[in-house]
Amino acid sequence: MDGSSSSSNSKPITFHNHYNNINTSIKHEKLGGFICVQLEWRKGKANPFASRISARMGPRQMPLNIVDDANRLPRIILTEPAGSSAEVLLYGGQVVSWKNERREELLFMSRKAIWKPPKAIRGGIPVCFPQFGNLGSLERHGFARNRLWSLDSDPSPLPPANNKSSVDLILKSTEEDLKTWPRSFELRIRISLSAGKLTLIPRVRNIDNKAFSFMFALRNYLSVSDISEVRVEGLETLDYLDNLMDRQRFTEQADAITFDGEIDRVYLTTPTKIAIIDHEKKRTFVLQKDGMPDAVVWNPWDKKAKALPDLGDEDYKTMLCVDSGAIETPIVLKPFEEWTGYQELSTVSSSYCSGQLDPQMVLHGLH
Ligand SMILES: O=P(O)(O)OC[C@H]1O[C@H](O)[C@H](O)[C@@H](O)[C@@H]1O
């Protein structure tokens, strides 16, 4: 779906964009049940923010492709020439879909996901900030995943993004958040799509006058064909904290992680590459990360799945969370310091049967 193509019956309307208080001119058209809007930032004389956006985008920059879906949640559609796509919600700053050039969905989304604030959406790539799990006094996994983020007009020092395949989002502390977590921050994320690759660059800036620390994780709900046939390589011999055993520390003994029951572990100080091998699909996800030394592996299995109201009873069979995180050692920022993380998800086709896959080659970049 490409909202940048305007149709003859698309009529421009003007509305006040409450997501970031910018007046925008909109062309809208019906596309497969969505209202598709094409945002054209209008240079606002009295609005320095809007002027900055216009300056950044320049006259020839493609407009962002934003649709307001059936749940009234604005989502940004990213596309790239090879034909893959990604969809990102302002709600949670969350990637909710990533499809390859054959239009196959690569991320898991619960069939019972609740697409309504204040619940976090069960699937895609939720952002866990400033807390992971229950490791603190805040709501589980922090509040970032259930806040409405804004488009980020000034992603510097990153260069301006290509609006067709990339989007910059920002979340700032609200009055309400400051009551429970009294630290002023700016949390940014750049989400970029290229052929076979989805890249997320999160950043946290301390705009407070005192230092603070936080945990951070990108929870990757990967779509797999059958969890019993999946193996994860790259975490062997590492220490992990087992959330199912009061966070006791163990050392991984297996050659690779396979699944036959509930798992909820934080692997510590992992290599920068992890391979998630889906035998049935003959597909391997390669997770590359930086600035987020830990990796969480989570599958609720049958009992927990039944207890989660927004997860289908059988959904655990087709999902696996492998997260990038900075969890065991929280990140500390002095005033005006910024932390930057990096995550890249890509897929390679794989088959043990045909002997095409050597996991070591995938992990060590020899493919
Ligand atoms: O249901 P959520 O808040 O998304 O959390 C999902 C799961 O995440 C973590 O891995 C926690 O350790 C689990 O206890 C929790 O069930």
Q: Please give the average per-residue pLDDT across 152-158, as a whole number.
A: 93
pLDDT tens, position by position, 143-153: 999 999 999 99
Q: Can you give the pLDDT at residue 254?
A: 96
Q: Can you give the pLDDT at residue 28?
A: 35
Q: Is the predicted pLDDT of residue 67 greater than 80, yes or no?
A: yes
**Which of 84, 85, 70, 64 has its CA nearest to residue 17?**
64
Distance CA 6, CA 42 (A): 18
Q: Is the predicted pLDDT of residue 13 greater than 60, yes or no?
A: no
Q: Please give the average per-residue pLDDT across 47-72, as a whole number.
A: 62
Q: Can you give the pLDDT at residue 40?
A: 34
Q: Is residue 53 part of a domain?
A: no
Q: What residue owns the CA closest to ligand 1's atom 14?
A: 133
Q: Is the predicted pLDDT of residue 29 greater than 90, yes or no?
A: no
Chain mean position to CA 3: 22
Q: Please give the average per-residue pLDDT across 79-104, as a whole number.
A: 98
Distance CA 166, CA 162 (A): 5
Query: Quick check: CB of 133 below 6 Å from ligand 1?
Result: yes
pLDDT tens, position by position, 249-279: 999 999 999 999 999 999 999 999 999 999 9
Q: Is residue 34 part of a domain?
A: no
Please count the CA atoms within 13 angstroms of the CA of 57 that sit on its side-chain side: 25
Q: Please give the average per-residue pLDDT across 309-334, as a whole number.
A: 98
Q: Ligand 1 pocket check: which of 109, 131, 219, 298 to mutate, most ligand atoms within 8 Å of Cβ? A: 298
Sheet holding 34-41, edge to edge: 11-17, 22-31, 34-41, 65-68, 74-79, 85-89, 94-99
Q: Which amino acid is at 291?
A: G
Distance CA 14, CA 34 (A): 18
Distance CA 56, CA 52 (A): 6
Q: Is residue 43 part of a domain?
A: no
Query: Quick check: CB of 243 below 6 Å from ligand 1?
Result: yes
Tell me, what CATH number does 334's domain have?
A: 2.70.98.10
Q: Is the predicted pLDDT of residue 52 greater than 90, yes or no?
A: no
- Confidence class for position 311, pLDDT limits 50, 70, 90: very high
Please count the CA atoms within 13 angstroms of the CA of 197 that sit on its side-chain side: 11
Q: Can you give the pLDDT at residue 72?
A: 87
Pick the atom of ligand 1 nearest to 126's CA: 4
Reported ipTM exceeds the 0.95 cut: yes
Please count the CA atoms within 13 angstroms of the CA of 196 that sit on its side-chain side: 8
Mean pLDDT of the chain: 84
199 Rama class: left (phi>0) / alpha (psi -120 to 50) / beta: beta
- Confidence class for position 358, pLDDT limits 50, 70, 90: low
Ligand 1 mean position to 264 CA, how many Å? 8
Q: Is the predicted pLDDT of residue 36 greater than 70, yes or no?
A: no
pLDDT tens, position by position, 158-185: 998 899 999 999 999 999 999 999 999 9
Q: Is residue 134 part of a domain?
A: yes
Percent of the chain whose predicted confidence (pLDDT) is above 90:
75
Q: Is residue 45 part of a domain?
A: no
Supply the pTM of this predicted model.
Answer: 0.84
- Confidence class for position 69, pLDDT limits 50, 70, 90: confident
Q: Is residue 321 part of a domain?
A: yes
Ligand 1 mean position to 140 CA, how many Å? 7
**Lowest mean pLDDT, pick from 119-133, 218-232, 338-352:** 338-352
Q: Please give the average per-residue pLDDT across 76-101, as a whole number.
A: 98
Q: Can you give the pLDDT at residue 365?
A: 57
- Confidence class for position 119, pLDDT limits 50, 70, 90: very high
Give the 3-state secondary structure of residue 57.
Answer: helix
**Number of domains into which the chain is organized:** 1
Beta pairing, strands 11-17 & 74-79: unpaired
- Confidence class for position 9, pLDDT limits 50, 70, 90: very low
Pick the atom of ligand 1 nearest to 141's CA: 3
Percent of the chain whose predicted confidence (pLDDT) is above 70:
79
- Confidence class for position 62, pLDDT limits 50, 70, 90: confident
Q: Is residue 313 part of a domain?
A: yes
Q: Looking at per-residue confidence, does 353 or 324 come out higher?
A: 324
Give the range of the structural domain holding residue 266, as residue numbers without chain letter: 69-363
Residue 280, number of CB atoms within 10 A of its CB: 11
- Confidence class for position 43, pLDDT limits 50, 70, 90: very low
Q: Is residue 60 part of a domain?
A: no
